[in-house]
Chain A
Amino acid sequence: VCVKSVPDTETKIKIGADNRHIDLADVRFITSPYDEFAIEEALSLKEKHGGETVAFSMGGNEVTDVLRDTLARGVDNAVHLNDPDFQDLDPLSTAKVLAAAIAGGGFDVIFCGQQGVGGDHSQVPAMLAELLDLPQVTMVVKLEIEGEKFKAEREIEGAHEIVEGTLPVVLSAQKGLNEPRYPSIKGVMAARRKEIAVKNAEALGSSGKVGQQFCKVKLTELTLPPPRPQGKMIEGDAETQAKTLVHLLRTEAKVI
């Protein structure tokens, strides 16, 4: 399972001094919400079929709590991918780091979330599948695994697609896949005693290949959305309001 540590979705966004990051003062980090579906699905597969679950997360110190939380939910082992070279990476470079850590691990299923909130890219899972040379299904809302075969349902515009194939596979979890469990007290206690493995660029063999200078997509500026112009309140009884609105939509906003 690939888990990303992201700013709490309730965070009020302020732009940082460099105009390229958000102001991290007072920001609490959480597991990216879609990764919670990924973790849950991995745990329920393990309950059904046995095996081992491992969480991978790339990032700085903000990752530790998220990995502890993942262990507390019942994931067996956690690997923290941490190196100065891993800061501010674009999705392709992120996928390269994850692929280096995951390749050769003998995993049957590699779960991701369908989107890492914050960056909002929805890119890493498909890139990871390509780099690992595995099939993929993104935005999965239902999953069945039998022997070497999987059957996954994904949400598309106005329909659901059923995708079939053989393991191993990379899957990205969409809301609706399951109801994530909360960590139990026992889980939290056990997670505290567990060791989180740390791997750097050298250990992954990615030195001189991954780093900001190699990124192909660069954020140059982060801005707040332009404020919406002051709206108009429409007064009167329901009929007058309806008439006025239709009139304004046609003559002023010109959208009808």
Chain B
Amino acid sequence: MAQGILVFIEHRGGQVRKSSLEALSEARRQADRAGGPVVALLVGQGVKDLASVLLKYKPDKVLVADDAEFAQYSTEGFTAALVEAVKRSDPRFVFSAWTAMAKDLIPRAAARCDAGCLTDVTELREREGTLLAVHPMYSAKAYGTFEFQSEPVFMTLRPNAFFTIEPDAAHTAPVEMLEVKPEKVRARVVETHAAAGAKVELSEAPIIVSGGRGIKGPENWGMLQELCDVLGAALGASRAVVDAGWIDHQHQVGQTGKTVSPQLYIACGISGAIQHLAGMSSSKVIVAINNNPDAPIFKYATYGIVGDVFEVVPKLTEEFRKALSES
């Protein structure tokens, strides 16, 4: 009988993604509750050393598919590796972080296994021994609770929605190689271009500072970037300023941009249109800075400041700098 959880681990530039560690941590929590092993899967070339990072998050086994074939991502190559790992470990669930790669890979692997799949999961809950998963729908204007009738079930977990467990440097578990020879790879990544300016990745950032039309022009990003630098935050934007060409679409938060769930979201000169809220309303704490006391964003803000961004933001940067240098 299928049991346990297989976790697909994503890495880039020799680093395991934080959201993958969150998925691995959640798998550990679920397995501790329901039983069964946690198996982590690494796919790439020369990635075996990353297993030591994963071991701290207490998997019962690490599988490594290491091959020149996996030096660059391909849907078909990675699907073959993931499906092979499913065959080997016969899990009840397959977890992964909800990332651009997972959006491409996970539903494909699920279809190959003729298995159920739920993306962008924000909460897992148990009812009478079965696992239920929550997935935001209608641009986060409603939440669906789902149950499953398949083995395995593939799930992608929203970054920042699940917290990492305390790393345990002493934890050990077997690291095994997984032999995979993809049958055919008809499309593959040939190049990757880093987007200019993106210092901290939006969807995984614990803090986001976002700017809207209220910042008046692209020459004023510097003011927000300074606040970002002090907080180690990522820079977000409303669609209005993306459409105006003030910043790349990579930074857009909302229904037609990214969905984010940071600990802290600071909206500067953003009105709070429903499509913007769709992308950030699940943030833990929302701060709104807007000079119009009737701006809709204040209805959603944990803390609201009615004021001019050009006065408030520099003061805020200064106060954060002071506060953070004290601690």
Closest B residue to A248 by beta carbon equals: B303
Q: Is B53 an interface residue (CB 8 A)?
A: no
A91 touches which one: B107, B301, B304, B320 (CB < 8 A)?
A: B107
Scan residues 1-37 of chain A and give those whose CB is less than 8 A from a CB of chain B: 7, 9-13, 15, 22, 33
Q: Are B75 and A92 in contact (CB under 8 A)?
A: no
Q: Is A90 an interface residue (CB 8 A)?
A: yes
A137 touches which one: B12, B120, B187, B303 (CB < 8 A)?
A: B187
Q: Is A117 an interface residue (CB 8 A)?
A: yes
B contact patch SS: mixed
What is the CA–CA distance of A140 and B231 in the complex, to the nearest angstrom? 32
A219 touches which one: B76, B145, B311 (CB < 8 A)?
A: B145
Q: Are A256 and B320 in contact (CB under 8 A)?
A: yes
Q: Is B87 an interface residue (CB 8 A)?
A: no
Q: Are A156 and B142 in contact (CB under 8 A)?
A: no
Scan residues 272-327 of chain B and give those whose CB is less than 8 A from a CB of chain A: 274-275, 281-282, 284-287, 298-308, 311-312, 315-316, 318-320, 323-324
Closest B residue to A234 by beta carbon equals: B305
Per-residue B-contact encoding for A217-250, CB less than 8 Å = 1, 0 else = 1111111110011011110001101110110111
Q: How many A-B residue pairs have CB under 8 A?
A: 263
Q: Is A54 an interface residue (CB 8 A)?
A: no
Q: Are B101 and A156 in contact (CB under 8 A)?
A: yes
What is the CA–CA distance of A15 and B299 in the complex, to the nearest angstrom? 21
Q: Are B319 and A139 in contact (CB under 8 A)?
A: no
Known: A138-B103, A256-B320, A256-B324. A231 touches B204 (CB 8 A): no
* A11, A95, A224, A255: residue with the most chain B Cβ atoms closer than 10 Å: A255
Q: Are B116 and A126 in contact (CB under 8 A)?
A: no
Interface size class of B (residues with CB under 8 A): 35 or more
Q: Are B203 and A164 in contact (CB under 8 A)?
A: no
Q: Is B111 an interface residue (CB 8 A)?
A: yes
Scan residues 84-133 of chain A and give those whose CB is less than 8 A from a CB of chain B: 90-92, 95, 114, 117-127, 129-131
Q: Are A164 and B304 in contact (CB under 8 A)?
A: no
What is the CA–CA distance of A7 and B141 in the complex, to the nearest angstrom? 12
Q: Is A136 an interface residue (CB 8 A)?
A: yes
Q: Are B108 and A130 in contact (CB under 8 A)?
A: yes
Residues of A within 8 A of B144 (CB): 219, 221-222
Q: Are B201 and A232 in contact (CB under 8 A)?
A: no
A256 touches which one: B106, B142, B264 (CB < 8 A)?
A: B264
What is the CA–CA distance of A106 and B194 in the complex, to the nearest angstrom? 36
Q: Is A163 an interface residue (CB 8 A)?
A: yes
Closest A residue to B316 by beta carbon equals: A242
Q: Is B39 an interface residue (CB 8 A)?
A: no
Q: Is A155 an interface residue (CB 8 A)?
A: yes
Residues of B within 8 A of A159 (CB): 192-195
Q: Are B107 and A216 in contact (CB under 8 A)?
A: no
What is the CA–CA distance of A129 and B284 in the complex, to the nearest angstrom? 37
B323 touches which one: A9, A118, A218, A256 (CB < 8 A)?
A: A256
Residues of A within 8 A of B33 (CB): none
What is the CA–CA distance of A239 and B311 in the complex, to the nearest angstrom? 8
Q: Are A162 and B190 in contact (CB under 8 A)?
A: yes
What is the CA–CA distance of A40 and B147 in the complex, to the nearest angstrom? 36
Q: Are A161 and B116 in contact (CB under 8 A)?
A: no
Known: A158-B194, A175-B249, A175-B256. A222 touches B303 (CB 8 A): no
Residues of A within 8 A of B118 (CB): 121, 217
Q: Is B135 an interface residue (CB 8 A)?
A: yes
Q: Which of B24-32, B88-96, B148-156, B173-181 contacts A (4 or more CB under 8 A)?
A: B148-156
* B108, B190, B191, B249: residue with the most chain A Cβ atoms closer than 10 Å: B108
B187 touches which one: A126, A136, A160, A219 (CB < 8 A)?
A: A136
What is the CA–CA distance of A147 and B257 in the complex, to the nearest angstrom? 33
What is the CA–CA distance of A131 and B287 in the complex, to the nearest angstrom? 45
Residues of A within 8 A of B319 (CB): 242-243, 245-246
Q: Are B305 and A241 in contact (CB under 8 A)?
A: yes
What is the CA–CA distance of A11 and B191 in the complex, to the nearest angstrom? 40
**A111 → chain B closest CB, angstroms:** 15
Q: Is A215 an interface residue (CB 8 A)?
A: yes
What is the CA–CA distance of A146 and B92 in the complex, to the nearest angstrom? 43
Known A121-B135, A229-B302; further 18 A-B contacts with Cβ < 8 A: A126-B75, A130-B79, A136-B75, A137-B104, A139-B103, A160-B193, A162-B190, A166-B187, A169-B187, A216-B116, A218-B149, A228-B302, A231-B304, A249-B264, A253-B303, A255-B207, A255-B263, A255-B264
Binding site for A on B (CB under 8 A): 12, 73, 75-76, 79, 99-101, 103-108, 110-112, 114-120, 132, 135-150, 153, 186-195, 198, 201-204, 207, 231, 249-250, 255-257, 263-264, 274-275, 281-282, 284-287, 298-308, 311-312, 315-316, 318-320, 323-324
- Please list the 5 inter-chain residue pairs (A to B) with the smallest Cβ-Cβ separation, ordered nearest first: A165-B187, A216-B116, A216-B150, A135-B187, A242-B315
